[in-house]
A and B are shown apart, each in its own frame.
Chain A
Amino acid sequence: MKNRIILTLSLILMVVLGIYGQHWVSQTSTHQSKIQNSRMTPVIFVPGSSATVNRFDNLLSTINASGPAHSILKVKVNQNGELLYSGKINANDRQPFIVIGFQNNEDGYSNIKKQTEWLTSALYALQDRYHFRTFSAVGHSNGGLIWTNFFEKYFDSDVFSIPTLMTLGTPFNFSETSLQRRTEMLKDFIQSSNKLPSNLEMYSIAGTEDYTDDGIVPIQSVTAGKYIYQKKVKSYTQITVTGDNAQHSNLPDNPEVMKLIQTNIIAPLSRRDAH
């Protein structure tokens, strides 16, 4: 009698777990299916310190003016993690531009760590909303540091596929002019560089006004990125742009930089999409 009660209760437990389990499986499969079948491959931009989600406005409108128009979505992450969306993604746009900025956009390593957490939560929220898996990343100044920290600490290749990263004037060694003096952040990045995805193509763009810096970031600090990325990712390319528009804050508006983004970020993503 006791055994029959045990078996009956177990059967009821299995039925209950089966019903809830079935609900979980169907929800998960639908979500996975949407992501898997999504043909959207956005380019996600992260601005540097003190900059807002409008930092790339000139760059994006110039790109849109010179070719097929991409819809633009801006996401501001508040300090409490709340996401504020502006702009929209057109239903038939397979390659939208998304800019993710932060309410707390101050400089400093501890803040970069916080901004990386906010970036991660924004990426997951965007995936839930638009069901994309593949995207390319662009970071201006500290935005490149946030992406680097993201790749080393939060990136999950089962969730996202990121073929290309481009950093613009990113100070991998902050304002240090000598590579002999490595900041705590650079040391941490080098130490965790084994976690960088091996299939990533990385472009680090530096600007020089006077052969030493771009007005703010020393060229040595930008080139320190090689100690993090070189031989750890699929390819690491260091490009230096010079001239009038090579000042740190102007880098996103530099015509050379715009061409580099079109050639190395937008075009390869379009080809992937076509396949």
Chain B
Amino acid sequence: MLNHVVNTAQKLDHALIHRPAFQAISAAMQQSVPILAIDIYCRLFLKLAISPDALFVNIFNNYPITPDSITDRLRFIIQNLDIAVTMIFIIGLTYHYLTQKGIKNTTLPIVTNFIAIYALLFVKGQVLANNASHYLLITFLILLSSHSYYWYYNHLKIAASPFSLRYLLWSITIIAASLLLHFGLHLSRLTSIISNLLAQNFFTTFLGLLLIAILSPLLFIFGFSLPPELTSNQTSFNAMVSNLDKFLTHGSSALPFPENLYSIYGAFSLFGGVGNTLALNVLLLFVASKNYRRLGILSWIPSLFDNNYLLYAGLPLFFRPLILAPMILVNITSMLISYVAIAGHIVQPAIFITPNNLPNILLPTLASATPIRSTILAILIFSLSLLIYRPFIQRFMTEVTHEK
């Protein structure tokens, strides 16, 4: 059965990665890895040591408080690094896509796409909520714009300067369209609508939790920006707050929502980020390919602290059936096992709030009233995640070797 899923995922993956557009996406993403690494490590440094709610500030007594001026300066740097990551991806994607199509001078489309995406996402403070997110939107728009340039180029058959009036007209049209889209696009509103939906009691039921277990890797791999409730923080949900209130006042007897997004999805499906990618990272440390081992080492520390965007861009994970399939399997397995364990009263659900930015792998141990049993459950789920990812990563590496 698993072999069949691996074979099907590999076939789909194989068909996809040989498409010119996908090769351009892949090259552009890998090109952005160095700047993304700087960005992610700066972000990690802020989250762990510098910001007022940093992990070390919370858990170590007498940890020195960083002056606001330094924190603000670092935040400013990170914000600009976020922009740089996106922009390098845009430049790379436009360049690779158009050179594959035989266009030699790509300066104007690169500048146009750069300005168009900047106007769309970064003007008026509509900064990307999570680093390296919205890949789907950006990729779709860049490919559309680049393809329109290619069509225009072939249609006009002009050998003149790429900065002639006709090409400039194309450029103005693309930038104007992106500005128009900017006014109609409210990404933060969309994210808050999803957040409100997730607060519904439906997501404390078996079906609701199963739906999230399947949807979150799908959205992640297809480049949607996930709301913080699906990547790191489920403590604001009513179900979690009601459980904590009940526990603090009446002890562990009859919690109102023992199975919820915090106790099932947050505690057992986010080791290293969406889809327990810490397991994927462990496997990368031992693969034959030197480049991927190096990526595994580079992304290891961020992965420990639940940031898997270096894997996302480095492998890359975007639109890859060979990664999506095990990710969904891992999420469903984690969800089923933890649901049965909690519903069967084998373990107490995660109810306590843990310090901000603490690795999710520690959540089951620290947030549950039965820490030892929850730790054993977490180890079991993590081991199963390793076993599920293993055959897919082996095939993934044969794809890489094949490419070489």
A interface vs B, CB < 8 Å?
Answer: 2-3, 6-7, 10, 13-14, 17-18, 20-25, 28-29, 32-33, 36-37
Q: Which of A10, A14, A20, A33 contacts B59 (CB 8 A)?
A: A20
In the A-B complex, the 7 residue pairs with the smallest Cβ-Cβ separation, listed nearest first, are A20-B59, A36-B248, A33-B248, A3-B285, A24-B59, A24-B355, A25-B366
**Interface of A: prevailing SS:** helix
* 16 A-B pairs with C-beta separation under 8 A: A6-B297, A7-B285, A10-B300, A10-B304, A17-B358, A17-B362, A18-B365, A18-B366, A21-B59, A21-B354, A24-B58, A24-B59, A25-B355, A28-B353, A29-B352, A37-B248
Known: A17-B362, A18-B365. A6 touches B352 (CB 8 A): no
- Binary A-proximity of B272-286 (CB < 8 A = 1, otherwise 0): 000000000010011
Q: Which residue of A is nearest B371, CB measured?
A: A22
CA distance A32 to B371 in the complex (A): 19
C-alpha spacing A37/B247, complex, angstroms: 11
Q: B300–A22 contact, CB under 8 A?
A: no
Chain B interface extent, by class? 20 to 34
Determine if B60 is an interface residue (Cβ-Cβ < 8 Å). Answer: yes
Residues of B within 8 A of A14 (CB): 304, 359, 361-362
A3 to B287, CA, bound (A): 11
Which B residues form the contact surface with A (CB < 8 A)?
A: 55, 58-60, 244-245, 248-249, 282, 285-286, 297, 300, 304, 352-355, 358-359, 361-362, 365-367, 371
Residue numbers in A under 8 Å from B353 (CB-CB): 25, 28
Q: Between A and B, how many residue pairs show CB distances below 8 Å?
A: 57
The distance in angstroms between the C-alpha atoms of A108 and B366, with both chains bound, is 49
Q: How far is the CA of A17 from the CA of B366 in the complex (A)?
A: 10
Scoring A2, A14, A20, A21 by chain B CB atoms within 10 A of each residue's CB, the highest score goes to A21
Closest CB of chain B to A36's CB: distance in Å? 4
Instruction: State A24–B56 Cα separation when bound (angstroms).
Output: 11
Could you tell me if A6 and B358 are in contact, using CB atoms closer than 8 angstroms? no
Q: What is the chain A residue whose CB lies nearest that of B365?
A: A18
Task: Find out whether the CB atom of A6 lies under 8 angstroms from the CB atom of B285.
Answer: yes
CA distance A36 to B55 in the complex (A): 25
Residues from chain B with a CB closer than 8 A to the CB of A33 are 248
Apart from A10-B300, A32-B248, A36-B245, what 16 extra A-B contacts exist at CB < 8 Å?
A6-B285, A17-B55, A17-B59, A17-B362, A18-B362, A21-B358, A22-B366, A22-B371, A24-B58, A25-B353, A25-B366, A25-B367, A29-B248, A32-B244, A36-B249, A37-B249
Instruction: Provide the residues of chain B in CB contact with A32, threshold 8 Å.
Output: 244, 248
A243 to B283, CA, bound (A): 83
Given A3-B286, A32-B244, A36-B245, the answer on whether A25 and B359 have CB atoms closer than 8 Å is no
**Nearest-CB residue, chain B, relative to A23:** B59
- Give complex CA distance A20, B371 in Å: 15
Q: Which residues of B contact A17 (CB under 8 A)?
A: 55, 59, 358-359, 362
Alpha-carbon distance A33/B55, docked complex (angstroms): 22
- Minimum Cβ distance to chain A for residue B10 (Å): 26
Known contacts A14-B362, A25-B367, A37-B249; is-contact A6 B300 (Cβ 8 Å): yes
Is there an interface contact between A21 and B352, defined as CB atoms closer than 8 Å? Answer: no
Q: Which residues of A contact B58 (CB under 8 A)?
A: 24
Chain A residues near B365 (CB-CB < 8 A): 18, 22
Specify which chain A residues have a CB less than 8 angstroms from the CB of B371 in the assembled complex: 22
Find chain A residues with CB under 8 A from B282 CB.
7
- A-side contacts of B355, CB under 8 Å: 21, 24-25
* Chain B residue with Cβ nearest A2: B297
User: In the complex, how many angstroms separate the beta carbon of B356 from the nearest chain A beta carbon?
Assistant: 10
Closest chain A CB from B328 CB (angstroms):
26
Note all chain B residues with C-beta closer than 8 A to A36: 245, 248-249
Measured between beta carbons, the chain A residues less than 8 angstroms from B249 are 36-37
**Complex: A176 Cα to B375 Cα, angstroms:** 65
Instruction: List, in ascending order, chain A residues with CB within 8 A of B60's CB.
Output: 20
Q: How far is the CB of B85 from chain A (nearest CB, A)?
A: 25
Cβ-closest chain A residue relative to B355: A24
Contact, CB under 8 Å: B366 / A21: yes
Q: B353: nearest residue on chain A (CB-CB)?
A: A28
Report the minimum CB–CB distance from A56 to chain B (whole Å). Answer: 33
CB-CB under 8 A from A29, the residues of chain B are 248, 352
What is the bound-complex CA distance between A268 and B8, given in angstroms? Answer: 67
Report B-chain residues with C-beta under 8 Å of the C-beta of A20: 59-60
- Shortest C-beta distance, B24 to chain A (Å), equals 33
Which residue of chain B has the shortest Cβ distance to A18 in the bound complex? B362
Choose among B58, B248, B282, B371 the residue with the greatest number of A CB atoms under 10 Å from its CB: B248
In angstroms, how far is the closest chain A Cβ from the Cβ of B187?
A: 24
Q: Whole-angstrom distance from the CB of A159 to the nearest CB of chain B?
A: 13
**B248 neighbours in A (Cβ, 8 Å):** 29, 32-33, 36-37
Residues of A within 8 A of B304 (CB): 10, 13-14
Contacting residues, chain A, for B55 (C-beta < 8 A): 17
What chain A residues lie within 8 Å of B358 (beta carbons)?
17, 21
Min CB gap A131→B, angstroms: 12
Set of chain B residues within 8 Å of A25, measured between Cβ atoms = 352-355, 366-367
> In the complex, what residues of B have CB within 8 A of residue A18's CB?
362, 365-366
B373 to chain A, nearest CB (A): 15
Most chain A CB within 10 A, of B286, B297, B304, B355, is at: B355
Closest to B60 in A: A20
- How far does the alpha carbon of A33 sit from the alpha carbon of B244 in the complex, in Å? 9
Contacts of B297 in A (CB 8 A): 2, 6
User: How many angstroms between the C-alpha atoms of A36 and B251 in the bound complex?
Assistant: 12
Contact present for A21 and B362 (CB under 8 Å) = yes
Bound CA span A6–B55, Å: 21
Residue of B nearest to A15 (CB): B362
Nearest CB in chain B to that of A30: its residue: B248
Q: For the complex, what is the distance from the CA of A39 to the CA of B361, rounded to whole Å?
A: 37
Q: How far is the CB of B146 from chain A (nearest CB, A)?
A: 40
Chain B residue contacts of A37, Cβ below 8 A:
248-249
Residues of A within 8 A of B362 (CB): 14, 17-18, 21
